[in-house]
Amino acid sequence: MALNLVMLGPPGAGKGTQAVRVEQERGIPQISTGDILREAVKAGTDLGRQAQAVMERGELVSDALIVEIVRERLARDDTRDGFILDGFPRTVAQAEALDQILAGRDPLIVVELSVPDQPLVQRLSRRRVCRDCGATYGAGAGGEVPTVCTRCGAALIARKDDREEVVRERLRVYSEQTEPLVVFYRDRPSFRRVDGNQPAAAVRIAIADAIDAAQAAMRVRSSPAV
């Protein structure tokens, strides 16, 4: 059974970090909306040119255009054994479109990383980004904030949108606009909620267990009745 995975969760929940780990462990591609948008623009595809024109006007790329870019990406051979979607869907309309894209493929598994607001504010306000290579760092186990990139040696800086007041606004917007996705998915037998407010290693194990349990449930449902 292919692993077709969507990871949901608020800013700072660790979706990107955990998606990379799932990619490494399961051998399926992590597909980030931002990455495939940039790829389409760089490649100069018809969809990429449309997206570039929108972004150059300072506007948000429409659901319809994002959906088509995702559809194109999921049609590639490397997604035959599955994929991890990070940053898509963001709206119920996108989720409905994804169901249509995946018609005839193995079921979608949805894992939500659940973390209370206050730990998210603390995580993001301590997050640092390399000014040169863009690598992201969180606070260490003892709460210390790193200052130098271990990848390239450049200084680490705090992003403007990681200030506490900005973080709280981002969480408010997430709750208002994106949490309806949880309502859309939560009654499916392939939906799992994972406590993201624990050490990253424990979250990784919990996600792996959630995926295995969801796949087992899907196999039972697809087995012919005796």
Looking at residue 217, which CATH number applies to its domain? 3.40.50.300
Q: What is the pLDDT of residues 8-49, one digit of tens each?
A: 999 889 888 899 999 999 999 999 888 888 888 888 888 888
Range of the domain at 200: 3-28+81-117+166-222
Which one of 38, 90, 168, 204 is the catalytic residue?
90
15 catalytic per annotation:
yes
Distance between CA atoms of residues 203 and 3, nearest Å: 18
Indicate yes or no: pTM above 0.75. Answer: yes
> Where residue 143 falls among pLDDT bands split at 50, 70, 90?
low
Which one of 73, 127, 128, 192 is the catalytic residue?
127
62 is a domain residue: no
Which one of 15, 73, 123, 192 is the catalytic residue?
15
152 is a domain residue: no
159 catalytic per annotation:
yes
72 is a domain residue: no
125 is a domain residue: no
The confidence score (pLDDT) of residue 23 equals 96
202 is a domain residue: yes
128 catalytic per annotation:
no
Q: What domain count does the chain have?
A: 1
Average pLDDT over residues 122-147: 80
47 is a domain residue: no
